[in-house]
Amino acid sequence: MNHHQTDLELHKAAVIFAVNHNVSYAEALKGVIAVAQTESARFSEPKASDDDAQLDRAAKAYAQANGVNYFEALHCVRFDGAASFSEASSSAGAQLLARQPIEIFRAGTYTDNNGIQRTFTLSDVRAIATSYNPQRHEAPLVLGHPRDNKPAYGWVKNLQATHDGRLLMLAEQIEPEFADGVQSGRFKKRSASFYPPNNSDNPTPGNWYLKHVGWLGAQAPAVKGLADASFGMPSNDGAISFEV
């Protein structure tokens, strides 16, 4: 990997960072250049420290989870106040996971567990994000797709919709052991489960509403661009799940 970024690469990284983090282009470019300069100096050193290696792993994990490039990810884990994997505290991984927007769904057409094709537009994704209200129903982070949403290993604090139709979540109160499992790669796939608009348990009838975010082990990919999209396990409560 070439760590000496060209002007075009820096520009692209800054544009992506500015859009995803709602900051000005100037602020994004300043941060990206600072990371590039720091990384250029660091990789020219004869030997990287343990902290450098752990920061590198943190950036790569962030990049894989959020579909961003290495330098943007490095900027996030270094400059956004996120905890480094090198921290001694057992909660460091949970802090890092809680401070990064994580993609859980994307606009597109998918086939549900009943064989029905469903299309989610950019407007649908935006509606899912804006209608989410933890006071009405707080979506938990779970393993697989438990019908009763238990046990919860964290909670979805809020949802964000990007200009290109991606649905991002910010989580909180994440169990450290669960975060360790995500970072180590034991749970690589995410499957968002939604209440359909007409579901009796839907807290906002008329809109799709997030029920939970299920984290899965080794699974076939599902939503194209994140992974290839397939539906999660069927549920008797009428909720529908999409793997990403």
| Per-domain residue ranges of the chain | 7-86, 101-243
Is the pLDDT at 197 greater than 70? The verdict is yes
Give the confidence band of 135 by pLDDT, cuts at 50, 70, 90: very high
Model's pTM, two decimal places? Answer: 0.58
Average pLDDT over residues 137-143: 92
Structure-model confidence comparison of residues 119 and 99, the more confident one: 119
Is the pLDDT at 111 greater than 60? The verdict is yes
Give the confidence band of 20 by pLDDT, cuts at 50, 70, 90: low
Lowest pLDDT segment from 60-64, 169-173, 205-209, 240-244: 240-244
Mean pLDDT taken over the chain:
72
Measured between alpha carbons, how far is 8 from 19 in angstroms, rounded to an integer?
A: 17
Identify the pLDDT of residue 106: 93
Structure-model confidence comparison of residues 124 and 242, the more confident one: 124
Residue 121 in contact with residue 191, Cβ under 8 Å?
no
Identify the pLDDT of residue 129: 96
Average pLDDT over residues 12-28: 68
Average pLDDT over residues 201-213: 94
Identify the pLDDT of residue 89: 42
Q: At what angle do helices 25-44 and 7-21 cross, to 10 degrees?
A: 130
Give the confidence band of 65 by pLDDT, cuts at 50, 70, 90: low
